[in-house]
A = this chain, B = another copy of it.
Amino acid sequence: MRDRFHEQLQQLSEALITMGALCEEAISDAAKSYFTGDRRLGERAGQLEQQIDQQQRDIESLCMQLLLRQQPVARDLRTISASMRMISDMERIGDQAADIAEIARDVQAGKLADETPMGDMARTAISMVTDSVDAFVREDLDLAHQVIARDDRVDQLFLNMRKQLANMIGRGEDASACLDMLMIAKYFERIGDHACNIAQWVEYALTGQYEDD
Chain B contacts for A183, CB-based, 8 A:
182, 186
CB-CB under 8 A for A179 and B176, given A67-B67, A68-B71, A169-B169? no
How would residues 37 to 75 of chain A score, 1 for a CB under 8 Å from any chain B CB and 0 otherwise?
Answer: 000000000000000010000001000100110011000
Mark each residue of chain A from 144 to 186: 1 if its CB lies under 8 Å from any CB of chain B, else 0.
Answer: 0000000000000000001001100110000110110011001
Q: Can you show 25 pairs from A to B with CB atoms below 8 A apart?
A: A53-B212, A60-B81, A64-B67, A64-B77, A67-B67, A67-B68, A68-B72, A71-B71, A84-B84, A85-B88, A88-B88, A162-B179, A165-B175, A166-B175, A166-B176, A166-B179, A169-B169, A169-B175, A169-B178, A169-B179, A175-B178, A179-B179, A179-B182, A182-B183, A183-B186
A contacts, CB < 8 Å to B: 53, 60, 64, 67-68, 71-72, 77, 81, 84-85, 88, 162, 165-166, 169-170, 175-176, 178-179, 182-183, 186, 212
